[in-house]
Amino acid sequence: MLDKRKSSLLAIVAFLGFLSTVDGQGNRRIADAEPKYVATQEGQTLNLMCRIALPITSCRFIIPGVPEEIKLNPTWKRNDNFRYHGSGLENGNCGLTILSIRKEYHGNATCILDPNDGGLDAIGNIEIVIAKAPQLPVIESSNIKDLEADKEIEVECSSVDGRPAANITWYLDDQLLGPGEEEIVDSPNEGTIYYTVYSKLRYRVRPDDNTRFLICRAYHPGYPEGFADARMQLNVNYRPLAKPETIISGLEIGSTATIGPISIQANPRPTLRWTVDGVVIDEGQQTQRYVANEPIQVGVSIWNASLTIIELTLQDTTRTYQLRASNAFGATDYRIRIGGSQDAPDSGLGIVSIVAITIISLLVLVIVVLVVVAKITKRWCFAGDSMHPNGPDSEAQIAPEDDKTHEHYEQHEKSADDEPETGADDVVIKATNGKAKGNTSV
């Protein structure tokens, strides 16, 4: 019986709609309806308005699920759920307030206004959608379990059986990505049409997307907060990221020094290998004075590497240290140098001072050696001037001519040494050169 009455009402609406297309002069007459479309929920209050630019004598509404026309005027209160609203029939206002929306009100509502000019009724249409919240959105993640940086992924989110259709938007944490490619499918259910929405997103992941949340947000008036989220945390794998050459300063020569920390960004955890002058030291191992420490995680996919040098030498500061970090997705080499090699032992001396002291020490050593040798051999570089009083300025100069004269001179000196002393201030020197003989006393 109810179905027959609904069919009769629809037929009446169609007939009235046909009549309303023309006025007394054959022109269309359509009421201005506000809103044209409205989505609401059960229990909410809804205002509908139809108006024309003429005074009207009557105001009627046909609401889906209500068996009779609702005749309205400012004083009409026959139904507890419906009220007239507007500025009066004389101003062409035909408004309806629905105090509490019911699910059977879903559909097209029609307003019918009778003008006082004797012409045809004016008709307006308003689509009322009683919102039904869809199921919570779901992200299909079967194809994105193992992500690799710089590669494109394709994900799909669905919002099932909603009325009206949900609007889906994609986010990466708080970063808006966009709506994606959308498809809306009708889902009949118990004679009512619901809508399922599929949204597909293509996105190229980056290393810094690791641990961020990919969010499918479905907006719908049926949700208590107006929207609902589906979230999926990304696990992005990538090789250790490259970085410029690192210079370590402030190390003290002679002490146990640490090169580092060298910050490495990678996922998963990298394996470390140091190379020093061709010597390879794997993480956790010690070779000679070098200890390669195991990496320490200090953040999300961030690892600190370090190399300990026992008793840092000046030569260590001139070397270039190479660190290789590798995981299943690749390897990256890093170069590290020790800068500021002015640091010295506890004496506080700089490199220039050390070199100067070394040179001075060598000079002193050379002088000492020369003195010792000269004393042993009795050969002095100034012997000709100081060993004998007969120098260039004496009155009688001795100039031996040949080996015989020199031998005679040495024998004469020897015989003179054997003679008794004649006095502390009386020294006699005798010399024979073959041509002249003289005595000089000092």
**Which CATH number covers residue 189?**
2.60.40.10
Shared-domain flag, residues 25 and 86: yes
CA atoms within 13 A on the CB side of 345: 7
Higher pLDDT, 253 or 412: 253
Q: Does 347 reside within a domain?
A: no
Ramachandran angles phi, psi of 396, nearest 5°: -120, 115
pLDDT at 126: 96
pLDDT at 440: 33
Structure tokens belonging to residue 133: 């919240």
% of the chain residues with pLDDT over 70: 75
Shared-domain flag, residues 268 and 221: no
Residue 437 has pLDDT above 50, yes or no: no
pLDDT at 344: 45
Shared-domain flag, residues 102 and 213: no
Q: Does 204 reside within a domain?
A: yes
Q: Answer for the pair 211, 265: CB distance below 8 angstroms, yes or no.
A: no
Range with lowest mean pLDDT among 101-105, 297-301, 403-407: 403-407
Separation CA 213–CA 209 (nearest Å) = 8
pLDDT at 226: 92
pLDDT at 370: 83
Place of tokens 């629905």: 98
Q: Which of 218, 237, 256 is the endpoint of a domain?
A: 237
% of the chain residues with pLDDT over 90: 58
pLDDT at 340: 56
Shared-domain flag, residues 33 and 117: yes
Q: Which of 237, 272, 299 is the endpoint of a domain?
A: 237
Q: Does 195 reside within a domain?
A: yes
Q: Does 378 reside within a domain?
A: no
Higher pLDDT, 106 or 380: 106
Separation CA 111–CA 84 (nearest Å) = 12
pLDDT digits (tens, 9 = 90+) for 39-71: 898 899 999 999 999 999 999 999 999 988 999
Which helix (H) or strand (E) segment holds residue 259: the answer is strand 257-265
Please give the average per-residue pLDDT across 308-316, as a whole number.
93
Q: Does 363 reside within a domain?
A: no
pLDDT at 354: 74
Range with lowest mean pLDDT among 6-20, 190-204, 213-227, 346-360: 6-20
pLDDT digits (tens, 9 = 90+) for 106-124: 999 999 999 988 888 999 9
pLDDT digits (tens, 9 = 90+) for 134-182: 999 999 876 677 799 999 999 999 999 999 999 999 999 999 999 999 9
pLDDT at 380: 62
Q: How would residue 80 be classed by pLDDT, with cut points 50, 70 and 90? A: confident
* Of 237, 202, 199, residue with least CA distance to 216: 199
Tell me the pLDDT of the chain averaged across its residues. 80
pLDDT at 10: 43
pLDDT at 377: 81
Q: Answer for the pair 64, 109: CB distance below 8 angstroms, yes or no.
A: yes
Structure tokens belonging to residue 268: 């998963």
Contacts of residue 247, Cβ cutoff 8 Å, sequence gap at least 6: 336, 337, 338, 339
Shared-domain flag, residues 179 and 207: yes
Shared-domain flag, residues 183 and 279: no
Residue 72 has pLDDT above 70, yes or no: yes
pLDDT at 408: 44
Separation CA 58–CA 376 (nearest Å) = 145
Shared-domain flag, residues 9 and 78: yes
Residue 229 has pLDDT above 80, yes or no: yes
Q: Does 365 reside within a domain?
A: no
Place of tokens 């700089």: 350
Shared-domain flag, residues 229 and 255: no
* Of 29, 15, 13, 17, residue with least CA distance to 120: 29
pLDDT at 28: 57
Shared-domain flag, residues 25 and 85: yes
Shared-domain flag, residues 115 and 11: yes
Range with lowest mean pLDDT among 56-65, 73-82, 274-283: 73-82
Which of 233-237, 343-347, 437-441 has the highest mean predicted lDDT (pLDDT)? 233-237
Please state the domain count of the chain. 4
Residue 345 has pLDDT above 50, yes or no: no
Residue 73 has pLDDT above 70, yes or no: yes
Distances (CA, A) of 97 to 47, 101, 417, 426, 429: 5, 10, 153, 153, 153
Shared-domain flag, residues 191 and 282: no
Please give the average per-residue pLDDT across 325-348, as a whole number.
77
Q: Answer for the pair 113, 121: CB distance below 8 angstroms, yes or no.
A: yes
Separation CA 71–CA 83 (nearest Å) = 10
Q: Does 346 reside within a domain?
A: no
Shared-domain flag, residues 126 and 48: yes
Structural domain including 271 reads 246-338
Gyration radius from the chain CA atoms: 55
Q: Does 382 reside within a domain?
A: no
Residue 225 has pLDDT above 50, yes or no: yes
Q: Which of 289, 311, 338 is the endpoint of a domain?
A: 338
DSSP reduced 3-state for 318? helix
